[in-house]
Amino acid sequence: MKIKTSAAIFAAALMAAAPFSVYAADSELVYDDFNKNDVNGEVGFVLPKSATGTFTITFDSPEGKDIPYYTGSIESGKDYAFKLEGRDNTKDDFRTYTLSVEITGGDYGRTSVAFTDTINGTGDDTFIIHDPHDNPDTYQKCVYKFTIDDKDTGNPWDVTASDATSKTVAVHLNASIMGDVTGNGIIDGVDASTVLTAYAKSSVGKDMGLSDLQQKMSDVNADKKIDGNDATIILSFYAYSSVDNEPMTLAEFIKARG
């Protein structure tokens, strides 16, 4: 088996020599035909402080596609390791494992876009967990290490460090989104209402009731003031993005409006 890396990978760091502790109450091996004698690798997860997550591991093989292997929940402060069975790299004997992880946490308690990675039994990949005889004679360990930051790169996460057997990826759950005044990770009618309420307060000499960051996220047309125009743009964008399967960004939407 091999780890197939891509630009869509979150994070992996090489596991320490000491074995990871698996928390059985939080995770479950759901594959009935698991054979511990075929195990020659393991994958682990480490989460940042106060974060939680859910994960699944499935596989494709001559047996079928998307066969459930592991499923469960994970949290910070614990180390997890999940054993993987070795297979050959032939057409009739292979395993392509796919893991998927969603992280919840950060300043706003948001849930990340699912990270997926493929642990492949074929192809020229870097990290190898391969057993040509279904009888383990090598053993590899890899841990996916997730971090959270506030950078806005246009991606839900980015690889920040990588080598042949390790990756560190920042998940941008704390990033501020223009128009997302409430900070819940989406732009909707509540944001428009919040801006309109703030404008109404300021119109009669009252404090807007918005933090500095919220005021910055409210001025979507960048005219250095918060008023009904901003609320209208946010509401219009929400209506548009609710019906478009591949909507533009708010900045693109504003530019298209002229």
Model confidence pLDDT, tens digit, residues 50-87: 999 999 999 988 889 999 999 999 999 888 889 888 77
Task: Tell me: pLDDT of 233 over 60.
Answer: yes
- 229 contact partners, CB below 8 Å, separation of at least 6: 221, 223
50-78 residues labelled b (16+ CB within 10 A) or e (exposed): ebbbbbbbbbbeeeeeeeebbebebbeee
Lookup result for tokens 């053993």: 139
Please provide the DSSP assignment of 80-98 as one string.
EEEEEE---SBTTB--EEE
Main-chain phi, psi angles of 99, to 5 degrees: -110, 145
Provide the b/e sequence for 180-190 (b: ≥16 CB within 10 Å): bbebeeebbee
- pLDDT higher than 60, residue 19: no
According to the model, what pLDDT value does residue 109 have? 85
Q: Return the pLDDT at 78.
A: 86
Backbone torsions φ then ψ of 131, nearest 5 degrees = -135, 95
SS3 state at 9: coil
Which one-letter amino acid corresponds to residue 214?
Q
DSSP code string of 50-116: T-EEEEEEEEEETTEEEEEEEEEEEETT--EEEEEE---SBTTB--EEEEEEEEEETTTTEEPPPEE
User: 21-33 pLDDT, tens per residue?
Assistant: 444 335 688 999 9
Residue whose entry in the numeric block shows the structure tokens 């910070």: 76
The length of the chain is 258
Q: What is the pLDDT of residue 3?
A: 34
Q: What pLDDT, on the 0 to 100 scale, is given for residue 144?
A: 86
**Range with the largest mean pLDDT of 1-10, 52-61, 120-129:** 52-61
pLDDT given at position 132? 54
pTM summary value: 0.68
From the list 23, 11, 12, the residue with the least C-alpha distance to 141 is 12
Q: Tell which wins on pLDDT, 40 or 29.
A: 29
Contacts for 106 with CB less than 8 Å, ≥ 6 apart:
51, 148, 171, 173, 174
